[in-house]
Chain A
């Protein structure tokens, strides 16, 4: 599983780093970057949650969450 942050979209809301510090950190300008790629075992749900919780739609997780998995972004 891969997770990426689109730097052209990230505006530094910092929610991903707040809720999933094992996956994301903030650079000196306060913008997010991925610290664990590929996504380590056990952090898959956290990656999907961060993706759905990004106000700028800057986080993308591959593969996509299966449609029946409940919390998928609509």
Chain B
């Protein structure tokens, strides 16, 4: 990103406006926001950052995912299910939730391990690597392509698309939105073409095959519905896991004692990953719209308000978590909202957890001893999602 775009681009998150903001260590600013009284952005956007306000706010029936005009992430139509509400939303979640339960996603475990190892093979003998382009970036995209049943050669289509949507280029918000929509249009076209090809083939046992044969209230999904669902899965499933994995591997690179604990006890990883998802909060925020005047825990939200809901702040709220700035793998209970909360809680969280767990487990099995390359440092972005966009590591090469 050029200096010019940085100076005039819209501020992504209320926490970025605080003096305590630090790209590398944003948790301090998020904690400040979590304990602020009724935070509001200068443009009037209301901010919900306290953990204890969040659950009640999100489940209120007047709190909606969109205002019916603004759709998320370059969508020209409402993303299914992210941009839908109420009964329509429940119907689609009823269709999609069963596809992403822990039991359903568990069958992807061999593919996840195999793909992780294939990517590690490419740099294991080098003794150094930038883990973003060599592992974190491609892994979720490869797996997603397998899940949908698309050719692996289409990898660049997805990598280009997600970059354009998650970190749109442009000097103004209008330019960014236009570039995002253009990338979105290319993805809609790609998915429409794929779907037409798949309709002409015998049914296959993958997600698109499932969407082509499944029924919602006794009717087959339309082509547009399938395209809209796939668009959402692409945008929600690629950069989030990439970013989360980069945060985890960066954290372990800089915390050797904790890393050795995990190497010695891989069975602890599910709990470890939940704690790091709390602390790192790779998806920092979401937006909601309020459709009528409501009061939540003494705070008034007028009808028509746009609200910035900051998961990353809630996750380090000292009123909700003991010593929230400490990563504590033995934290007795951890009601974090790293996968959001309320009706739009992350559909793919169980797949994300599985990918993160197996990728970290395989990486630490192959490369238990690694650190940030001397003279280099981790470069984080916190725009759109938090990610270690530059993650140069060095490690001893295993012999024999």
Contact = CB atoms under 8 A, between A and B. Distances in A.
Contacts of A56: 55, 59, 341-342
A12 B334 contact: no
Interface string A43-55: 0000001101111
Contacts of B337: 55
B322 to A, nearest CB: 9
B345 A12 contact: yes
Interface in A5-56: 9, 11-15, 17-19, 26, 28-31, 49-50, 52-56
A30 B97 contact: yes
B339 A13 contact: yes
Given A11-B341, A12-B345, A18-B270, A26 B101 contact: yes
Given A12-B345, A30-B350, A74 B274 contact: no
Contacts of A14: 102, 349-350
B333 A49 contact: yes
Nearest to B342: A11
Nearest to A19: B271
B100 A30 contact: yes
B304 interface: no
Contacts of B334: 15, 53
A11 B345 contact: yes
Interface centre among B97, B98, B342, B343 (most CB of A within 10 A): B97
Contacts of A49: 332-333
Contacts of B94: 29
B386 interface: no
B97 A74 contact: no
Interface centre among A13, A26, A57 (most CB of B within 10 A): A13
Given A30-B350, A52-B333, A53-B335, A13 B97 contact: no
B319 interface: yes
Contact of B97 (A18, A29, A54): A29
B101 A57 contact: no
Contacts of B9: none
Contacts of B319: 74
Contact of A54 (B270, B335, B349, B350): B335
Contacts of A18: 270, 274
Contacts of B52: 74
Interface centre among A11, A17, A54, A57 (most CB of B within 10 A): A11
Interface in B303-352: 319-320, 332-337, 339, 341-343, 345, 349-350
A29 B98 contact: yes
B345 A13 contact: yes
A55 B326 CA distance: 20
Contact of A55 (B332, B336, B350): B336
B117 to A, nearest CB: 25
A26 to B, nearest CB: 6
A18 B335 CA distance: 13
Interface of B: 52, 55, 59, 94, 97-98, 100-103, 270-271, 274, 319-320, 332-337, 339, 341-343, 345, 349-350
13 contacts: A11-B345, A13-B345, A13-B349, A14-B349, A14-B350, A15-B334, A18-B274, A19-B271, A26-B103, A29-B101, A52-B335, A53-B333, A74-B320
Which 9 A/B pairs are nearest by Cβ-Cβ distance? A53-B333, A30-B101, A52-B333, A11-B345, A29-B97, A55-B335, A49-B333, A55-B341, A53-B335
Given A29-B97, A49-B332, 19 more contacts: A9-B59, A12-B97, A12-B101, A13-B345, A13-B349, A15-B274, A15-B334, A18-B270, A19-B271, A26-B102, A49-B333, A52-B333, A56-B55, A56-B59, A56-B341, A56-B342, A57-B55, A71-B332, A74-B52
